[in-house]
Structure 1
Amino acid sequence: MRIVLQRVSQAQVEIDKQVVGAIPQGFVLLVGIQANDTQAEIDYLVHKIVNLRVFTDAEGKMNLPISQVNGQILSISQFTLYADTKKGNRPSYTHAAKPEISEPIYHAFNTALRRAGLEVAEGVFGADMQVSLVNDGPVTIVFDTDHK
């Protein structure tokens, strides 16, 4: 799995000009899935995200996890994180899992985040979405389970 995490002061996702998910402070997660991803990748990423200390403490240091700031998560499936751009000008997506594989993994990932105590809003899997966010910091971190 590959995740691009952005610390945000607010974010929302729209489909056909209708808001389908919104959060105040927290993380926007762009989630890419490969065919060989399993519960082990989900468990690893949930642990990393829940415990990631990138929110500012009273001394102005990035030292607090999302739970200590009452942050929420906006999770967006994004197969384009596995774009291969080595040849030509049109990306290949052969490294991304097919929807019948990636959709259940995406939902299992979001369920695992909820079980860890986080409030999770979602986009709609496979939909054309417009994501709006205010990147706070800016803080952007990439997780890739192929490079743990």
Structure 2
Amino acid sequence: MRAVVQRVNGASVVVDGEVVGEIVGQGLCVLVGVTHDDTPEKAAQLARKLWSVRIFDGEAGPEGPSVEGGGGRRAEEKSCSDLDAPLLVISQFTLYGDARKGRRPTWNAAAPGEVAEPLVDEVVARLRALGAQVETGRFGADMKVSLTNNGPFTIIVEV
């Protein structure tokens, strides 16, 4: 499984003009891609990582606050579990797109919907079992995602 994780100050998903998932304030917007050999165990591992990864600001590191272009580092010391921060989890098969050849990406590495949907649902269920507030998109729908990336701060998590 592959996830693009963005630290946000709010995010929402709209389908057919209706808000189907929204988080307000500090949290994570997580785009989740599933490939053919992914399992419920990998979904559980991803959920644990998302709930515990420390990407929210703590105090400034020993070199002082971070400045764009370098000159210091920031201490990301807090996780969603530390802050009780919500997550917006959105399925996105395009994370396994391959555009190395030609002008059109291929989707061969992306699992089909009947495999991917239950695994994305498993990530969400596992996060909720850990105590997370989780909002979601709608699997397979044409979704409009809006967010305010805080930082910007974006990482890729693979399990």
- Deviating beyond 4 angstroms after TM superposition, the runs of 4 or more aligned structure 1 residues are none
Matched position secondary structure for 1:34: coil
Matched residue, 1:89:
103
Does the alignment pair 1:49 with 2:50? Answer: yes
Give per-residue Cα distances to partners, 1:107-131, cap 9 Å, x unaligned. Answer: 1111011101101000000000000
Mapping 1:51-130, distance limit 5 Å:
51-57=52-58, 59-60=59-60, 61-130=75-144
Residue identity opposite 2:3 in structure 1? I
In the alignment, the residues of structure 1 paired with residue 90 and residue 6 of structure 2 have an alpha-carbon distance, to the nearest angstrom, of 12
Please give the alpha-carbon distance, in whole angstroms, between the structure 1 residues aligned to 2:38 and 2:82: 30
Q: Does 2:38 match 1:37? A: yes
Q: How far apart are residue 36 of structure 1 and its match?
A: 1.0
Q: Which residue of 1 aligns with 2:158?
A: 144
Q: For residue 7 of structure 2, what is the amino acid of its counterpart?
A: R
Residue in 1 that maps onto 2:8: 8
Checking the alignment, whether the CA contact within 8 Å between 2:28 and 2:85 is kept in structure 1 is yes
Partners of 1:117 and 1:43 lie apart in 2 by 14
CA distance in 2 between partners of 1:3 and 1:73 (Å): 13
Which of structures 1 and 2 has the bigger CA Rg?
A: 2
Structure 1, gaps ≥5 residues long? none
CA RMSD in angstroms comes to 1.1
Q: Deviations over 1:75-119 (max 9, x none)?
A: 100000000112211110011000111111111111011101101
Q: How does 1:17-28 map to 2 (within 5 A)?
A: 17-24=17-24, 25-28=26-29
Scaled by the length of structure 1, the TM-score of the pair is: 0.93
Read off the aligned partner of 1:85 and give its amino acid letter. A
Q: Percent of aligned positions with the same letter in both sequences?
A: 43
